[in-house]
A and B are shown apart, each in its own frame.
Chain A
Amino acid sequence: MRLEARVTVLARGVDATVSVGAGRTLAVLGPNGAGKSTVLEALADVTRPDRASVTLDGRELAGPRRRAAVPARRRGMVLLSQDDALFPMSVLDNVAFGPRSAGRGDAIAIAREQLARVGCEDLAERRPGELSGGQARRVAIARALAADPRVLLLDEPFAGLDVEAASSIRALLRTLLADVTTVLTTHDALDAHTLADDVAVMESGRVVEHGTAADVLARPRTRFAARMAGRVLIEGTMRGGRLALDGGSSVPVAGGPGAGSRAAIAVHPAAIPVALDSPARAGEHAWVMEDVVTLEPRGDHVRAHGAVVSADVDPAFAATLAVGTRIWCGVPRGLPAYAL
């Protein structure tokens, strides 16, 4: 079930191109407001796109002629929304809704089977109001799978769940999604890491990077993608075995393209130590001098951004910094460089 799609929703500034191979999982990774949900809704035809080209296994579901677009109920793309949207009927009837809509006589049997797969067979007679957040999400997943989707669309599958429920549902989805063609949205690189084969990074309604999860998350090509992947992108020009940074310093790297090519390394900002004075030359870091450009509070730590390098520091240390403070950032030596 290979899905190829480009959808444009002008009102929400979305113009995105995505593709996912049969049985694979694509994570659409981006911050809140990037238009991820809109992409899923447009794929399912729940939101009518202004322009769309959607092909599933060579069959055109939407094309230049808007009136010819296949309606939501015949696309075989099941949307699982953040709010679960369970229907006001029993859990069993909820899960049986899809197969019943398809006119299947064994709808109840299918529903029981799917409820068992998500570990909720004992909730069959409950009403949606009697479920916890995690239970409701499991039931919604069972309902989606019971409809035997050609493509499963998961909108932020862990949104609104407590940490415990989120991690158990993450583990559940890892097994359930193995052979289902899936597009899921997330703002969390961890979800992309654990669940996705492919990643599309979205920024302001556009897909800015699209590739295998390993590629996009470990070798991001834009600062934005690196940020979404939980890394900082350090860009420069190859000079022998070193990456010459745009600020003038250089860092020894492994591999990378030929001399003179633009290249980058992607570093976890927590792996970059920060000092106020020029440190001793020895050590496994190449020290790069920076002036603080911005200080970004991020929960339990602060990210200090220089012109080229960014690093995470603890809040106590961050209190000694201000915009313009001279700092030294220790970039680990010998990281793999890749062409941009």
Chain B
Amino acid sequence: MSGPRWLVPLALLGALLVAAPLVGLMARASWGELWTLITAPESLEALALSLRTAVASTLLVIVLGVPLGFALRAVHGRVRAGLRAVLLAPLVLPPVVGGLALLYAFGRRGLIGAPLEDAGISVAYTTAAVVLAQTFVAMPFMVVSIESALAAHGERREAIAATLGASRTRILARITLPALGPALATGAVLAFARALGEFGATLTFAGSLAGVTRTAPLEIYLARETDPDAAVALSLVLLVVAVAVVAIAYRPAATRGLR
């Protein structure tokens, strides 16, 4: 499919719009000092925190998001439509709104946060809050990925496995989950990338405490005026990760090998 020729200039314009900022960022980078800038204590601290929290929230997304994808297939009609709308809302919600919502749920005076506070557990403005914020915004990627994979997945093998005497858990572990492998990987990679880039909800709900809640995006935002070179260097790291993630997650299904 190549389409009519007048698509070409529009496509070029589109490519320019996407590529120009990336090129601009690279043009601004002080390549000679790049390594020094990235390995500066503040940068390393932020990067390490980002990595830790993003890994933690990706694990949470897998553990909670996969069951949510199954739950979405188990309900039908309006209930499914309604549930899906709620579960996928963080995908399109402005992150700062998400952060506020998290604050009123898990903050010190929040719906769940207040009883937790009474029990001596404080969530807001801790690293746990960062993980919570990242999980909140990244979960929809897994839910949507699992749900659509389940929709395309026939249940023949599961049925046969049941007649062979397998329990539901065994069927899930040996038949369904392996078949969902590619969807699970895609969901996890996208969730990890989204968690790594989280900014608005984190800032609102977790604040910007160096070493505790100041992840790489927050460090970039803070450094952009005081130390633009460091900000650009950190940005490049996140850019490389983003491009790599997309390259991994969006391969056409045919080249992925389903067996």
Contact = CB atoms under 8 A, between A and B. Distances in A.
Nearest to A43: B163
Interface string A79-96: 111010101110000000
A230 to B, nearest CB: 31
Interface stretch (B58-66, B117-125, B153-161, B194-202): B153-161
B96 to A, nearest CB: 44
Given A101-B170, A127-B259, A128-B259, A85 B156 contact: yes
Interface stretch (B8-16, B24-32, B144-152, B171-179): B171-179
Interface string A142-174: 011001000001000000000000000000000
A304 interface: no
A260 interface: no
Interface residues of B, number: 17
B246 interface: no
B165 interface: yes
Interface string A118-132: 000000000111000
A73 B166 contact: yes
Contacts of A83: 156
A79 B159 contact: yes
Question: For chain A, which range describes its interface: under 10, 10 to 19, 20 to 34, or 35 or more residues?
Answer: 20 to 34
B259 A98 contact: no
Contact of A44 (B157, B163, B259): B163
Interface string A35-73: 000000100101000000000000000000000000111
B192 to A, nearest CB: 25
Nearest to B164: A98
Contact of A101 (B156, B166, B178, B179): B166
A75 B159 CA distance: 13
A147 B165 contact: yes
B259 A73 contact: no
Given A79-B159, A129-B259, A98 B178 contact: no
B162 interface: yes
A100 to B, nearest CB: 8
Given A101-B164, A101-B165, A88 B179 contact: yes
Contact of A78 (B163, B178, B259): B163
A102 interface: yes
B159 A97 contact: no
Contacts of B157: 85, 87
Contact of A71 (B162, B170, B175, B259): B162
Contacts of A41: 159
B259 A46 contact: no
B256 to A, nearest CB: 14
A77 interface: yes
Given A73-B165, A88-B178, A147-B165, A81 B160 contact: yes
B163 A79 contact: yes
B39 interface: no
A87 B163 contact: no
Contacts of B164: 73, 78, 97-98, 101, 143-144, 147
Interface of A: 41, 44, 46, 71-81, 83, 85, 87-89, 97-98, 101-102, 127-129, 143-144, 147, 153
7 contacts: A78-B163, A78-B164, A80-B160, A101-B164, A129-B259, A143-B164, A147-B165
**A-B pairs with the 6 shortest C-beta distances?**
A72-B162, A101-B166, A98-B164, A101-B165, A46-B159, A79-B163
